[in-house]
């Protein structure tokens, strides 16, 4: 069976940045998130052995969700400068490795991933499984019998693979009810609260009783139903982002490598990554900066 590994890049970059001690080049360029991101990808590639690979990113453009709920993500702290600069460094290295990169203004990486999953399902109905590398539980709504979520746990050594059974065991609902669950119970990280006094347990009970938000008119008044529909729209991953076109042939993957990738790793003094991806390289591996040891990393997710 072919395997498409889809990388939720911004989620991984954020997690790596906060998990790994500060790391810089001789010139002072911060690189800890860059280092952590490619460590995570390396581990996932080793474990999953993908035949296809795609990396998805957010853009600085405001999400369409902000137009639906104006307080959407309003409580998030501004991105630190040392993190902000590393988004483009990761993109530079992803491009240097000739990994197909996707993003779309006005949409989040979640939506781009949802669109890739939808189009890949249509192109290969029998012989493709998809694994999404992320720490974002919103992605649970994409899970089915051939689509899985891979979530790193502690450092880079452990991961959990979520299929339909694991999602239902964790949340109490099947994957296709995750957006209903979030509409009812809210999402503090995205700054919308759900309905007053409805927590996760009550949300699960209501979903099991009524089936979906749209079937709850007998339970709630018109104003509440309108609010629920808005929150479900915000919670739902878009499956058809304009401008995203996926060809499985273009996503074919064998290994991270190539002279351009190696030279870019050298540029940012990622010596241990050079040794890992190019074990026979003649590149000098003397470390001019100290890369963090495994035991120094805190939990990523």
Same domain, 177 and 255: no
Average pLDDT, the chain: 89
Residue 61: pLDDT band by 50, 70, 90 thresholds?
A: very high
Residue 59 confidence (pLDDT) above 50 = yes
Residues 295 and 234: their CA atoms lie apart, in Å, by: 38
CB 24 within 8 A of CB 137: no
- Position 119 in a domain: yes
For range 3-9, the mean pLDDT:
98
Average pLDDT over residues 53-71: 91
The whole-angstrom separation of Cα 133 and Cα 65 is 23
Between 157 and 242, the higher pLDDT residue: 242
The tally of CA atoms less than 13 A away on the side-chain side of residue 134 is 30
For residues 203 and 188, what is the distance between their CA atoms, to the nearest angstrom? 15
- Assess whether 177 and 95 both reside in one domain: no
Q: How many residues are listed for the chain in this entry?
A: 301
Report the percentage of the chain scoring pLDDT > 90.
73
Domain count, the chain: 2
Specify the higher pLDDT residue, 120 or 290.
120
Q: Shortest CA distance to 114 belongs to which of 242, 240, 233? A: 240
With contact defined as beta carbons under 8 Å apart, do 190 and 234 qualify? Answer: yes
Comparing 222 with 301, the larger pLDDT belongs to: 222
* Count of beta carbons in the 10 Å neighbourhood of residue 53: 25
Please report, for the domain that includes residue 197, its CATH number: 1.10.150.20
Confidence of residue 301 (pLDDT cuts 50, 70, 90): very low
Residue 87 covered by a domain: yes
Same domain, 212 and 128: no
What CATH number corresponds to the domain at position 278? Answer: 3.40.50.1010
Ranking 46-60, 68-82, 100-114, 281-295 by mean pLDDT, the lowest is: 281-295
Enter the tokens of residue 181. Answer: 């669950």
Is a pLDDT exceeding 50 seen at residue 16? Answer: yes
Residues 155 and 181 in one domain: no
Q: Is 273 exposed, middle or buried (0-12, 13-18, 19+ CB in 10 A)?
A: buried
In the prediction, which pLDDT does 113 show?
98
- Domain ranges, residue 117: 2-164+239-296
pLDDT value, residue 294: 42
Asked if residue 93 and residue 44 are part of one domain, the reply reads yes
Burial of residue 280, with CB atoms counted within 10 A of its CB: 0-12 exposed, 13-18 middle, 19 or more buried:
exposed
Contacts of 289 (CB under 8 A, 6+ apart): 23, 24, 25, 26, 31, 269
pTM assigned to the model? 0.90
**Structure confidence at residue 11 (pLDDT):** 92
The pLDDT assigned to 77 comes to 78
34 inside domain: yes
Residue at 22 is within a domain: yes
Phi, psi of 282 (to 5 degrees): -95, 5
Domain end: 209, 235, 261, which one? 235
> Is residue 160 domain-shared with residue 174, that is, in the same domain?
no
Higher pLDDT, 197 or 228: 228
Alpha helices (H) along the chain: 9-19, 32-48, 65-68, 81-96, 109-123, 164-171, 178-185, 200-210, 222-235, 259-267, 271-277
User: Smallest Cα–Cα separation from 7: which of 116, 134, 108?
Assistant: 134
Among candidate residues 112, 151, 150, 166, the one with its CA nearest the CA of residue 3: 150
* Cβ within 8 Å of residue 41, ≥6 positions away: 7, 12, 133, 256
Write the pLDDT tens digit of every residue in 257-296.
999 999 999 999 999 999 999 987 654 544 444 455 443 3
What pLDDT score was predicted for residue 300? 40
CA geometry: angle 268, 54, 175, nearest 5 deg: 125
Between vectors from CA 42 to CA 36 and to CA 48, what angle results, nearest 5°? Answer: 130
- Write down the pLDDT at residue 157: 64
């Amino acid at each position: 069976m072919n395997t498409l590994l889809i990388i939720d890049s911004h989620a991984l970059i954020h997690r790596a940045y906060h998990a790994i001690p500060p790391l810089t080049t001789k010139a002072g360029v911060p690189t800890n998130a860059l280092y952590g991101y490619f460590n995570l990808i390396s581990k996932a590639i080793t474990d999953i052995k993908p035949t296809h690979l795609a990396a998805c990113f957010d853009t600085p453009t405001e999400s369409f969700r902000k137009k639906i709920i104006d307080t959407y993500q309003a409580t998030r702290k501004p991105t630190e400068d040392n993190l902000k600069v590393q988004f483009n460094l990761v993109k530079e290295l992803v491009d240097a490795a000739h990994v197909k990169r996707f993003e779309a203004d006005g949409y989040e990486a979640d939506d781009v991933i949802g669109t890739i999953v939808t189009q890949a399902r249509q192109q290969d109905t029998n012989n493709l499984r998809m694994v999404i590398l992320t720490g974002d539980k919103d992605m649970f709504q994409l899970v089915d019998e051939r689509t899985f979520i891979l979530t790193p746990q502690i450092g880079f050594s452990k991961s959990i693979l979520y299929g339909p059974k694991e999602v239902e065991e964790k949340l109490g609902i099947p994957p296709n009810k995750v957006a209903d669950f979030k509409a009812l119970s809210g999402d503090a990280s995205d700054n919308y609260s759900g309905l007053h006094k409805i927590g996760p347990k009550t949300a699960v009970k209501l979903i099991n009783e009524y089936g979906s938000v749209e079937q709850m008119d007998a339970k709630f008044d018109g104003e509440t139903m309108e609010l629920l529909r808005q929150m479900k729209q915000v919670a739902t991953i878009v499956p058809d982002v304009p401008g995203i076109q996926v060809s499985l042939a273009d996503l074919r993957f064998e290994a991270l490598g190539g002279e351009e990738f190696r030279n870019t790793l050298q540029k940012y003094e990622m010596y241990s990554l050079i040794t890992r991806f190019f074990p026979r390289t003649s590149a000098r591996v003397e470390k001019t900066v100290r890369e963090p040891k495994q035991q120094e990393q805190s939990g990523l997710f």
